A and B are shown apart, each in its own frame.
Chain A
Amino acid sequence: MRVDTGEVFGFLGPNGAGKTTTIKLLVRLIFPDGGSARILGKSIDDVAMHQEIGYLPEQPYFYDYLTAAELLDYFARFHRLTPTDRKMRVENMLKKVGLETAKKIQLRKYSKGMLQRVGLAQAILHDPQVVILDEPMSGLDPLGRREVRDIILELKKEGRTVLFSTHILSDAEMLCDRVGVLVGGKLRGVGTPEEMVGIKTQGMEILFEVAEGKNPPLLAKATRTGERYRVQMPEEELYGAIEQLRAAGARILSVAQIKPTLEDFFMNLVEADRAQANAVEVSGK
């Protein structure tokens, strides 16, 4: 698997697929039995190369006797920063992750979401070229998730490479240039979200409203939500359906293609994997 410079790469997979294990290997928290990995063309064992890496662990936990400002200052000391630069970066970063007002509170009093923000801040404090985030949205409220998404997009704009793991597929679809899907410890596919799900349309969907007493035959197949009806059909039946609705005086609100989502692709892979595992179990192999 290869992640190109400047791209946002999503690492997807169900729980236990091996996402965190892979990330831990890259940041040398665990060691491989075999194989090799390189970041910025250098071996992951090259400690100096880690100047250029930022890492957010899954469900981060930090020294609870430190304040956020002290923690960031502590981590910043491991990078080549002058005291003035260090101080400035810590201030800016606290502002960026929305912890400026809580910077003097000890981390033992922080919520899970606040710890996640501190974790993100320490990962990008030193302007790394490569940012590796393990489940960065985990534990965040919708506002926090939005902020993290914005930070990832900002990193991309700055030309940094971002690798992040997630099982929130909508985040991956929204942010990633490419994704890799890991199931059962094996990489099952790498590509853009569009490539992964395919471009073939699965059908069409019409959203419409119809006046009281009008009963176009299509209504039997439609699903009602409030005053609106939603109906799905093969692409070749679209124009016939529109004619039928026009004849009944219906108000067509939208016509859209039905495309498979990353979630569909993901679920298919996971189910195929489970089916294979069951088959092996049944045959006793």
Chain B
Amino acid sequence: MKNVWTVATNTFREAVRDRVLYNLVFFALLMMGAAILVGQISIGIEESVIVSLGLTAISVIGLFIAVFIGVGLVSKEMDKRTLYALLAKPVERWEFLLGKFCGLVMTLTVNTAAMAVGLYLALWTVKHTLEKSDGWILVAVYLILLKLALIVALALLFSCFTTPFLAILFTAGIYVAGVFAGDLRTMQAVDLSPATMNLLKGISYLLPNFENFNVMGAVAHGRAVPGALVRQATLYAVVYGAVVLAAASAIFSRRNLK
């Protein structure tokens, strides 16, 4: 695991030096603006609006980083041939891949944590106090992070066998489909044959169900998030992520670097 850690810390350093964390400035401006405006236009629901806006921004910004940088993790190294010298060292290809994954997840964790702090600051600006129920925001942020980690794994998988452009399209496509995976499972369409319905249902179970990680509505209204849901979402992300990374590893391990 030492090799994985070495690659991960270097990936994190790359993200920092490539100014990935500059998005925090945008987030800070958004939260400051929201804190000022919300107090004037939304009487009584300031907290809910700030939390919804903050969590959505954390999710969307994270999504952009996960997809665009996630796809570039391996493809950029192949394009620039920076991994040639590295892979000739005593490093397994799966170690390199896992290290890249962990490095970006580390970056996303720091980024998301910083944005969560920003969200709490905006909330405090509006309410001038923080309550115990505001702690659920951290749970929502944690679940967003799990979702982002899963997206990084998918971006890595696609970048292992296709062009960066297609990998971005595939990852974004799977994300959108995954958001509606739950709807696909419960869909009742009268004009579709039972076979088609079964096929759609089967596909919906193969897709990552990103709704598992969405507790924004509940948290914005100060409602508690059940512990079982958090545990289930964590297990789901770990298992699904491990399968995706194993597939990426299997493909990358036999890929010729021309």
Interface residues of A (CB under 8 A from B): 24, 27-31, 47-51, 53, 55-57, 59-63, 65-66, 74-75, 77-79, 119, 122-123, 132
Contacts and interface: CB of A to CB of B under 8 A. Distances in A.
Given A55-B85, A55-B88, A75-B89, 15 more contacts: A29-B257, A31-B256, A47-B92, A50-B88, A50-B90, A60-B84, A61-B80, A61-B81, A63-B10, A63-B14, A65-B17, A75-B85, A75-B86, A78-B89, A79-B89
A114 B71 CA distance: 30
A60 to B, nearest CB: 6
B6 A47 contact: no
B254 interface: yes
Contact of B10 (A31, A48, A74, A123): A74
Interface in B15-47: 17-18
Nearest to A29: B257
Contacts of B256: 29-31
Among A29, A31, A53, A79, max chain B CB count under 10 A is at: A29
A78 B6 contact: yes
A53 B13 contact: no
A268 B144 CA distance: 67
Nearest to A23: B88
Contacts of B169: none
B17 A62 contact: no
Contacts of B14: 63, 65
A74 B6 contact: yes
Nearest to A46: B90
17 contacts: A27-B87, A29-B257, A30-B257, A31-B254, A31-B256, A47-B91, A47-B92, A57-B81, A57-B84, A60-B81, A60-B84, A65-B17, A74-B6, A78-B3, A78-B86, A78-B91, A79-B90
Contact of A24 (B85, B90, B92, B257): B257
A35 to B, nearest CB: 15
Contact of A57 (B13, B17, B85): B85
Contact of A119 (B85, B87, B254, B258): B85
Contact of B88 (A29, A59, A65, A66): A29
B133 interface: no
Given A31-B256, A57-B81, A74-B10, A48 B87 contact: no
B82 interface: yes
B257 A77 contact: no
A60 B86 CA distance: 11
B255 to A, nearest CB: 9
Interface residues of B, number: 24
A122 B83 CA distance: 13
B194 to A, nearest CB: 46
Interface in B214-258: 254, 256-258
Contacts of B17: 65
Contacts of B87: 27-29
A70 to B, nearest CB: 8
A65 B90 contact: no
Nearest to B83: A29
A60 B82 CA distance: 8
B18 A62 contact: no
Contacts of B10: 63, 74
Interface in B62-98: 80-82, 84-92
Q: Which 6 A-B pairs have the closest CB atoms?
A: A55-B88, A27-B88, A65-B17, A30-B256, A57-B84, A78-B89
Contacts of A66: 13
Max chain A Cβ within 10 angstroms of own Cβ: one of B14, B81, B88, B258: B88
A39 to B, nearest CB: 11
Given A30-B258, A65-B18, A60 B85 contact: yes
A48 B90 contact: yes
Contacts of A30: 256-258
Interface centre among B2, B89, B92 (most CB of A within 10 A): B89
Most chain A beta-carbon contacts within 10 A, residue among B2, B86, B91 = B86
A39 B86 CA distance: 18
Contacts of B89: 50, 75, 78-79
Contacts of A50: 88-91
Contact of A53 (B18, B88, B257): B88
B6 A122 contact: no
A48 B84 CA distance: 17
Contacts of B254: 31
Nearest to B3: A78
B243 to A, nearest CB: 24
Contacts of B84: 29, 55, 57, 60
Contacts of B92: 47
